[in-house]
């Protein structure tokens, strides 16, 4: 796992810091997903969102506990279904796009959602798991990561264009809950469940594996730390959906960027294998990433302070 790699190349103190940042980041995401799923089910069939979050936690807990094979099969199906549903929603909304909704955006606030954007584009935690999945085809890892990120960015752009263009200032915090027509609303809410279920399962799995492979914690401690702790925080603290994503991306994600820059430099010198791909322009991209991280922390703090 990533935490183990940091310990290998940067030492125990850096490993501990990386674990803290990763736990904070993933906890923030897991809590947000639990909140989003609970409110979505409540909007879909009624009831109490907290109870529905608890039901979802109970159902997914054994899936995450049973390990990589079960998660692989679940994730493979849900990922394709998720992309299809997003494209269907966007195709329904594109004809409704009103350019006035896009022109009404305030440029002075363009950096306020920076923490959420960093969170959305942070996929480093799944790279070790990706390597395990592609154990016999490691030569395609670079292409998988690059094309995977490009596909994600395209989908993010299309999604934002469709929903902001169609709903403007009335877009909901969980955008797929913005529909008012009964049929479209039901379809959109069901889509939301798939959108939030997939990353919840994967991130909980990644965190569980971190405790297993990097700290050799005995069962059932890893699954309890990865799933039960964020659930209890969500249950008793009941924070906001967007605020948790801001904290996860703006703080934990940004601080992680700093460590990664040092990790890359160390791995280039002391790595076990010759890198299959080296980003050009020397250390300049690393400095750029550090600047992004600083901006993320500043913008997230400004947003939280209001």
Three-state DSSP state, 111: coil
The answer to whether the CB of 257 falls within 8 A of the CB of 289 is: yes
Q: Rounded CA gap, 241 and 234, in Å?
A: 10
Greater pLDDT, 227 or 304: 227
pLDDT exceeding 70 applies to what percent of the chain? 92
Contact partners, residue 227, CB within 8 Å, separation at least 6: 30, 57, 60, 61, 64, 204, 208
b vs e for 232-245, b when ≥16 Cβ sit within 10 Å of the residue's Cβ? Answer: ebbeeeeeebbbbb
| pLDDT reported for residue 52 | 96
Task: For residue 209, give Cα distances in angstroms to 98, 130, 167.
Answer: 45, 13, 40
247-271 per-position pLDDT tens digit: 888 888 888 888 988 988 888 888 7
Domain boundaries of the chain, sorted by first residue: 2-305
Mean pLDDT of 35-54: 94
| pLDDT reported for residue 59 | 93
Q: Rounded CA gap, 157 and 151, in Å?
A: 10
Q: Rounded CA gap, 253 and 246, in Å?
A: 9
Pick the closest to residue 157 from 90, 84, 213 (CA basis): 90
Topology of domain 2-305, per CATH?
Amino acid/polyamine transporter I (1.20.1740)
């Amino acid at each position: 796992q990533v935490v183990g790699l940091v310990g290998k190349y940067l030492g125990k103190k850096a490993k501990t810091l990386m674990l803290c940042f990763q736990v904070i980041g993933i906890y923030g995401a897991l809590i947000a997903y639990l909140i989003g799923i609970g409110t979505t089910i409540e909007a879909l069939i009624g009831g109490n969102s907290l109870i529905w979050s608890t039901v979802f936690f109970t159902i997914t807990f054994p899936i995450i506990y049973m390990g990589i094979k079960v998660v692989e099969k679940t994730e493979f199906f849900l990922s394709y279904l998720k992309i299809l549903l997003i494209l269907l929603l966007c195709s329904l909304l594109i004809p409704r796009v009103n350019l006035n909704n896009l022109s009404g955006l305030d440029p002075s606030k363009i950096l306020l959602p920076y923490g959420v954007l960093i969170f959305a584009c942070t996929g480093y935690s799944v790279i070790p798991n990706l390597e395990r999945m592609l154990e016999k085809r490691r030569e395609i890892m670079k292409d998988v990561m690059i094309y995977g990120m490009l596909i994600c960015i395209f989908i993010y752009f299309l999604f934002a264009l469709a929903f902001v263009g169609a709903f403007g200032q009335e877009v909901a915090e969980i955008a797929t809950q913005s529909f008012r027509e009964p049929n479209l609303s039901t379809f959109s809410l069901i889509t939301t469940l798939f959108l939030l279920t997939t990353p919840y399962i994967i991130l909980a799995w990644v965190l569980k594996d971190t405790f297993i492979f990097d700290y050799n914690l005995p069962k059932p401690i890893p699954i309890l730390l990865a799933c039960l702790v964020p659930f209890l925080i969500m249950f008793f603290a009941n924070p906001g959906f967007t605020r948790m994503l801001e904290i996860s991306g703006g703080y934990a994600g940004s601080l992680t960027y700093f460590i990664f820059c040092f990790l890359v430099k160390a791995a280039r010198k002391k790595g076990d294998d010759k890198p299959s791909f080296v980003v050009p322009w020397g250390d300049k991209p690393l400095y750029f990433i550090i600047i992004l991280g600083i901006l993320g922390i500043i913008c997230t703090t400004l947003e939280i302070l209001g």
